[in-house]
């Protein structure tokens, strides 16, 4: 089924809901226990049925898989584990036939240490590619050049005995940072982008985009004032000299210019540094990202007061004409259904699809997938091995998708690469397809509502005062006013309304088109969308 665009004047990346797929964990087709492109291809009708307008696909490039694809050894080929370029082309075609866009994850900050560029670069100090990476001499004592720490633990500098210099890696030591100051690197990367744009991808999600450039003076980072015994050691210093440097902004502008060579493409960016810095990543004068990714909903305490404050802070931190974006899940963050519970996960879904801006969710969120419980012995994520004991393991949110209630959940015929986790019987696609009050049904209805309600795309956002931990806001256009009321508690609450309205959707999916006069009764964990019938509150 092809969904009608609600407002044809808006660019696609403003109207559509974006669905992140971690390819290892979506659908296996060949029994090796790891998801692949042909598996994904067999599920495109599901995506169309669900109503997503774009897929953001985590990396499928050739990779030694130390960081499961975020360590790339060839930017212009598909890893055999996932399939071939031909499979990729088939996938693009199948998605486009269903009016679904494809956003590819790209990783410009670093390559794998197996990438031929790095192999050459480390071969000798005189190699023409030496300056493609960030090399530095030891400090006076023979130690690393400065105090910079890898996000994945330990010094960010790795000693190369043969050429007697250190190379810099913001992440794993097997992920050396490219030297973006070198124009040759930027040209090479522009060609990588063009390679995929010509193959028909509709945009990119730029990985770790804020850390492309480091201070050329290699100055030490200052102490992090929030650091205490519970803070993971890599956060000991504030990343002043390695995050969101002005040069990084200009490199993002260059990537944007490449995108603009092709019609109708979009640039998304993973940006570091918190809400106060996010506005920088738009910039109307010198266009940067269309959508700098905002993780606020995953980082805010889950109560109406904190949410109202966080939403306000974010909206105020971005330029007036900037398009907001909201994320409910990712392969790097604990699952929402585990963090706030399955009942509140419905509230989170309603919030995601009714806030102003583009909603992004992570495959499995639509069935309320929980984190998988993974012991440290079973951990596959290097982050856990390198910085143990802080709950940083990302395997729990990377567990395979559940398509049915069978032993392997319809994900594979072999041994899944990570354990499936709990609640497979009720939290799987097949079970929820046949339940018209399931989380899956809610997601589908919310996306359908967004498609038919232009006010949810382009209407004004009007925050209201929360009542008894019920989060309240309105979306208004010339002729319509929608009230969204989200009960973030496990008790019932009555909200006083100044106007009459018609209840259009409840997160419980059991009441529809109910008239509501001056009082709106909300049951525990209930959220509603109401169409208001008279003038404003
Ligand atoms: C951000 C990605 O989302 C994460 O999974 C990865 O480990 C780092 N970037 C390094 O590439
Ligand atoms: Mg496979």
pLDDT digits (tens, 9 = 90+) for 145-198: 999 999 999 999 999 999 999 999 999 999 999 999 999 999 999 999 999 999
Each domain of the chain, given as residue ranges in start order, spans 12-111+195-211+265-449, 112-194+212-264, 459-536
In this predicted structure, the answer to whether residue 7 has a pLDDT above a threshold of 80 is: no
Question: Which residues have a Cβ under 8 Å from the Cβ of 337 and sit 6 or more positions away?
Answer: 345, 365, 368, 369, 370, 427
The candidate with the shortest Cα–Cα distance to 330, out of 409, 394, 271, is 394
Q: Tell me, what's the pLDDT at 377? A: 81
**pLDDT for the residue 2:** 36
The set of long-range contacts for 43-47, using a CB threshold of 8 Å and a minimum separation of 24, is: 44/91, 44/94, 44/95, 44/98, 44/100, 45/98, 46/429, 47/19, 47/95, 47/98, 47/100
pLDDT of residue 522: 98
- 79, 113, 174, 207: the catalytic one is 207
Quote the CATH superfamily of domain 112-194+212-264.
Answer: Oligo-1,6-glucosidase; Domain 2 (3.90.400.10)
Q: Look at the domain 12-111+195-211+265-449 and name its fold.
A: TIM Barrel (3.20.20)
Q: How far is the CA of 260 from the centre of ligand 2 (A)?
A: 35
Ligand 1 pocket check for 207: Cβ under 6 Å? yes
Section 303-314 average pLDDT: 98
The four Cα atoms 122, 128, 132, 138 give a dihedral, to 10 degrees, of 50
> Is the pLDDT score of 486 beyond 50?
yes
Q: Is the CB of 326 under 6 A from ligand 1?
A: no
CATH number attached to the domain at 459-536: 2.60.40.1180
pLDDT of 457 > 90? The answer is yes
Reported confidence tier of residue 537, pLDDT bands at 50, 70, 90: very low
Residue 412, number of CB atoms within 10 A of its CB: 22
Element (H, E) at 305: helix 304-317
Calpha distance 444→353 (Å, rounded):
11
pLDDT at 1 over 60: no
Give me the sheet containing 501-506, strands edge to edge.
Answer: 460-463, 470-476, 481-487, 527-532, 501-506, 514-516
- Please tell me the number of the ligand nearest to residue 82's CA: 2
Ligand 1 centre to CA of 171 (Å) is 8
Is residue 67 within 6 Å of ligand 1 at its C-beta?
Answer: yes
The reported pLDDT for the residue numbered 5 is: 44
Residues 6+ apart with CB under 8 A from 257: none
CB atoms near residue 142 (< 10 Å): 9
pTM above 0.85?
yes
The catalytic residue among 261, 312, 378, 510 is 261
Q: What is the DSSP string of 230-280?
A: TS-GGGSB--TTTSS-HHHHHHHHHHHHHHHTSTT-EEEE---S-GGGGGG
Using the mean position of ligand 2's atoms as its centre, give its distance from the Cα of residue 317 in Å: 42
- Per-residue pLDDT tens digits for 430-453: 999 999 999 999 999 999 999 999
- pLDDT at residue 3 in the model: 39
Average pLDDT over residues 98-112: 98
Closest ligand relative to 268 C-alpha:
1
CA 46 – ligand 2 centroid, Å: 19
Determine the pLDDT at residue 535: 55
Return the minimum-mean-pLDDT range out of 336-340, 477-481, 482-486: 477-481
- Residue matched to tokens 């486009």: 96
CA of residue 208 to ligand 1 center, whole Å: 7
Residue in the block written with tokens 């993780």: 295
What is the mean pLDDT of the segment spanning 264-283? 91
State yes or no: pLDDT of 54 exceeds 60.
Answer: yes
Whether the CB of 208 sits within 6 Å of ligand 1:
yes
Q: Is 171 in the pocket of ligand 1 (CB under 6 A)?
A: yes
Catalytic residue list contains 220: no
Span 394-413, pLDDT tens digits: 999 999 999 999 999 999 99
pLDDT score recorded for residue 37: 98
pLDDT exceeds cutoff 50 at 4? no
What is residue 133's three-state secondary structure? strand
Cβ 71 under 6 angstroms from ligand 1: no
Measure the CA–CA gap between 537 and 535, rounded to whole angstroms.
7
Mean pLDDT of 342-360: 98
Q: Please, which contacts does 478-482 make with residues 24 or more away whose CB atoms are closer than 8 Å?
A: 480/453, 480/455, 480/531, 481/455, 481/531, 481/532, 481/536, 482/354, 482/453, 482/455, 482/456, 482/529, 482/530, 482/531, 482/532
Task: Tell me the pLDDT tens digit for each residue of 194-245.
Answer: 999 999 999 999 999 999 999 999 999 999 999 999 999 999 999 999 998 9
207 is catalytic: yes
Instruction: Kindly indicate the confidence band of residue 260, based on its pLDDT and cuts at 50, 70 and 90.
Output: very high
Using the predicted structure, report yes or no on whether residue 392 has a pLDDT greater than 50: yes
Mean pLDDT (the chain) is: 95
User: Which ligand sits nearest to residue 24's alpha carbon?
Assistant: 2
């Amino acid at each position: 089924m092809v969904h009608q665009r609600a407002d044809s004047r808006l660019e696609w990346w403003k109207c559509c809901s974006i669905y992140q797929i971690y390819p290892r964990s979506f659908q296996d087709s060949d029994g090796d226990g790891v998801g692949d492109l042909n598996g994904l291809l067999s599920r495109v009708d599901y995506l169309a049925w669900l109503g997503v307008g774009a897929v953001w696909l985590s990396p499928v490039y050739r990779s030694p898989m130390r960081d499961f694809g975020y360590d790339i050894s060839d930017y212009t080929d598909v890893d055999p584990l996932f399939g071939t370029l031909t499979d990729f082309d088939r996938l693009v075609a199948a998605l486009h036939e269903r009016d679904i866009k494809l956003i590819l994850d790209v990783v410009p900050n670093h390559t794998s240490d197996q990438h031929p560029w790095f192999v050459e670069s480390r071969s000798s100090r005189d190699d023409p590619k030496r300056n493609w990476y960030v090399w530095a001499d030891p400090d006076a004592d023979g130690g690393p050049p400065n105090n910079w720490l890898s996000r994945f633990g330990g010094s960010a500098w790795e000693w190369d005995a043969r050429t007697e210099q250190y190379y810099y890696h913001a992440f794993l030591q097997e992920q050396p940072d490219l030297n973006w100051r070198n124009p040759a690197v930027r040209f090479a990367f522009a060609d990588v982008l063009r390679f995929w744009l010509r193959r028909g991808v509709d945009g990119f999600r730029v990985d770790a985009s804020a850390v492309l450039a480091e201070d050329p003076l290699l100055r030490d980072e200052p102490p992090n004032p929030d650091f205490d015994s519970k803070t993971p050691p890599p956060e000991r210093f504030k990343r002043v000299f390695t995050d969101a440097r002005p040069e990084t902004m200009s490199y993002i502008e260059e990537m944007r210019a490449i995108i603009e060579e092709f019609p109708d493409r979009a640039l998304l960016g993973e940006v570091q540094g918190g809400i106060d810095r996010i506005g920088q990543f738009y910039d109307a004068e010198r266009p940067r990202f269309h959508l700098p990714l905002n993780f606020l909903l995953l980082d805010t305490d889950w109560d109406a007061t904190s949410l109202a404050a966080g939403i306000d802070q974010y909206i105020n931190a971005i330029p007036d004409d900037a398009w907001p974006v909201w994320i409910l899940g990712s392969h790097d963050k604990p699952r929402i259904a585990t963090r706030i519970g399955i009942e509140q996960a419905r509230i989170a879904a309603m919030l995601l699809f009714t806030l102003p801006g583009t909603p992004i969710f992570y495959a499995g969120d639509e069935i309320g997938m929980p984190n998988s419980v993974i012991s440290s012995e079973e951990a596959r994520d290097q982050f856990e091995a390198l910085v143990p004991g802080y709950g940083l393991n990302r395997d729990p949110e990377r567990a395979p998708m559940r398509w049915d209630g069978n032993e392997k959940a319809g994900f594979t015929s072999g041994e899944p690469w990570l354990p499936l986790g709990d609640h497979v019987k009720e939290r799987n696609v097949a079970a929820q397809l046949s339940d018209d009050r399931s989380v899956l049904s809610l997601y589908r209805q919310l996306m359908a509502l967004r498609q038919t309600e232009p006010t949810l795309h382009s209407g004004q956002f009007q925050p209201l005062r929360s009542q008894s931990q019920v989060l309240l806001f309105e979306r208004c256009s010339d002729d319509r006013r929608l009230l969204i009321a989200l009960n973030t508690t496990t008790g019932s609450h009555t909200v006083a309304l100044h106007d009459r309205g018609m209840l259009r959707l409840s997160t419980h999916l059991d009441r529809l088109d109910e008239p509501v006069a001056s009082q709106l009764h909300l049951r525990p964990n209930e959220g509603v969308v109401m169409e208001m019938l008279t003038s404003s509150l």
